[in-house]
Amino acid sequence: MRLALADIPKSFSRRDGRVYLAPRLLRPRDLREELAALIGLYEASLGMRRGDFPNDRPAELIGEYRLARSLSICLGEWYSWQSEAWPGAAAEAEATALAAQGITSPTALRLALYDFAQAAAGGYLPSAERETRLGAFAASLSIARATLDALLALDDTREERLRRAAEAAPDAAELAARYNQRAVEALLANASQVEWRVPPEAAEGSGGGLGAVVKQVCFLARRMGVNYDVAFEYGFPDLAPDLAPAQDERGALVAERRAAYTQPSPRSLDAAGLPIIITLYGPQELMGAPNQYGERLARLCRALLGYRRAVGVGALHGALSGWATVYLRGAPFTFTLDDRLLRLLRTETLADVSAAIGADVAFDSLLERRLYEDFTALERAGETAGWRLEREPEPLLFGETILVPDFALTRDQRRVYLEVAGYWRPGYRERKARKLLALGGAIPLVVAAPEDARAAFGALEQAYPFLWYRGETLSAPALLATLLRAYDDYPARLAALDLPGLLGEVARRGRIGVVEAQAALHSYTRDEVAATVDALARQAAAQGVAAPEWLEGLGLCAPAWLDALATAARAQVEAAGGRLPLAALGASAGASAGTLAGASAGALAGLAEASLEALAMRAGLLISRASLFAAEALTPERAESDAADAAQVAQTALADAATKDAATAERPQRMSRRAQPRKGLRRTSSGVTWNAPTMFPPELAGDEDAADPLTPTQADE
């Protein structure tokens, strides 16, 4: 249960035209005896009915009603009021009797009493008859009269008993710290935005520099579902002028680097030596008033205040400061967050908060989640042309602008960032457009934006490649097409290849697998591989050596290695009698490939049929297809033998057909008559009977004396 703002003692002050708000927090020596007495009251009341608990006693002990109420709410983390379980104080025989009648809860008991009152007294029990009727009802249930009264009110809140939920009671210091935490959280939950100032010295002991600290803060904000913005702090009174970088030194910066990429320049955020302002916002801008979004904002601020060096990501508790805009009755107030406040809070560590919010990767929108899932699925299938998608990349800096992209895509020494500008609020789009305009295209960046945002971002299409989308789906293949179109650096990758070294490596090893070969060739599409293999062939011709060949499924192969594998494949076909299905050839040839120099056992297992067919043709084998799905490899000798057998079978069939035709020609020619209908029913009309036409004529039916079917005869009388 969150503390209500009305229950938190507060003070107000005015400075420089602004109204400041400060909650009353308990310092280390404040009210220690009173807090201990309050905890003692709860310990002494364990097992007491809620209706008997002295509700005014906490205020008498603390001396202030609102503070006592807030402390009682905080004590709810250690103590709770619990209803007694059914059947309460009823005897075992009484519980058995009630269960036999289907009564297993106070609600069922009250329903049974209602039915009894309806049947016995029309639904109303007069005062004079009440005790008598209730006694009769209890007797009908085989329970005592006192048991009936206790069970009817068993789930009444006044009958709840005080229980301790924790293993041990808190001490006064723990209760004071928890009250301070929840009081600050209550104010932050009603804030429209919070601004944190992160100075350069905040990264001391973090192990990753200021960029790592900023990235961690932004990552935590995403996990908790809070919007954020990052910028340099300029113009603050305590900022030394000589800390600002010179104009000619302002270039593309990377806050945190794990590898050397060609772009942007490998300068760090720490080199700027400037404080960072991280703005967390949401409730007031999104929905007009703080609500559940404010709860997330409060939890995130608590996590930031709980940064500790033991977590391994920074020690911000000695340097972090900020201020929040809190709304009370619709009016804004400034709430200062500084180191003095931190000393009064025993906040959790970042690890504790991260464990509380779960380990799932959080996304700003369902669109980003779907894009991440679709792209990683393509990546697992090897269909991303070597691009790898990374969530939560390092912040980017250019001059006074800091941008934290949504994704980063990496391939070799190339790193391209992706910014999804899909949020619909006009203020958000204006800020995003200004930030992208300030970067001026200095960062390799792809911007994904909805079609209805062309008015806000259309002017930036000359500086960045845009990926426009509709609805709530951002296509991963469309993103790949945009990357290949806007950041195609194949000529530079080809020029940087060591072609003589690659030729020597292929000759030494015999074969380089597909994945390794693509990485070695710096080629990730079929067209790029074909072009690079052509460049290798030209280099081989210049050196007077055999050019390597590319075979799908096997990779980059030396001609001698392929010839040896083809010879082994032919031997397998010959061992099978000169005929072997291609699928079986792949398994058997792969098993024998282990005897070849530089080849591994099972190299052809699972190889595509087209690649197996190319290998078979290289071995001088022929391909026969009995159907679309049944292909076989044959030796030329077996093919000639099969052809001869087929010719013999055909010749025999022709001879048999000729003999049959001759026998047919020698048969006596008989005149055939047109078949007639079979003799049917007789119909009598005007004394004359007509015979219906029969199927066969009389001479063929065996009735030589039958009359003409069309001749009328006298009907029998």
Closest Cα partner for 450 from 422, 473, 414?
422
Looking at residue 385, its amino acid is: A
**pTM, full prediction:** 0.52
Per-residue model confidence (pLDDT) at position 425: 66
Residues of the chain with pLDDT under 50: 235-267, 283-291, 307-315, 317, 347-360, 589-601, 684-696, 698-717
List Cβ neighbours of 410 (8 Å cut-off, separation of 6 or more): 261, 387, 388, 390, 416
> What tokens were used for 442?
């200095």
> Phi and psi for 15 in degrees, rounded to 5?
-140, 130
Looking at residue 299, its amino acid is: R
> What tokens were used for 56?
């005014």
**Separation between Cα atoms, residue 656 and residue 654, nearest integer Å:** 5
The b/e string for 624-650 (b: 16+ C-beta within 10 A; e otherwise) is eeeeeeebbbbbeebbeeeeeeeeeee
Residues in the chain, overall count? 717
Closest Cα partner for 302 from 186, 171, 166?
186
Per-residue model confidence (pLDDT) at position 537: 92
| Alpha helices for 593-713 (secondary structure H) | 609-618, 636-666, 698-701
Give CA separation, 535 vs 542, 549, 696, in Å.
11, 12, 86
Instruction: Map residue 533 onto helix, strand or coil.
Output: helix
Place of tokens 């113009």: 235
Per-residue model confidence (pLDDT) at position 37: 92
Per-residue model confidence (pLDDT) at position 42: 92
- pLDDT tens per residue, range 164-185: 988 889 999 889 888 888 888 8
Give CA separation, 589 vs 99, 142, 507, 566, in Å.
75, 86, 21, 8
Closest Cα partner for 624 from 639, 614, 612, 609?
639
Domain chopping of the chain, boundaries: 5-83+160-172, 92-154, 189-239+274-357, 366-480, 491-550, 559-638, 682-714
Looking at residue 332, its amino acid is: P
Distance, C-alpha 396 to centroid of its chain? 25
> Strand order of the sheet with strand 579-581?
579-581, 630-634, 622-627
- pLDDT tens per residue, range 182-237: 888 888 888 888 888 888 776 665 555 676 677 777 777 777 777 777 777 763 33
Distance, C-alpha 284 to centroid of its chain? 29
> What tokens were used for 60?
């008498």
Angle between helices 514-521 and 526-543 (to 10 degrees): 70
Answer whether CATH 3.30.70.270 is correct for domain 366-480. Answer: no
Per-residue model confidence (pLDDT) at position 75: 92
Distance, C-alpha 71 to centroid of its chain? 41
> What tokens were used for 390?
């990374």
CA distance between the termini of the chain: 113
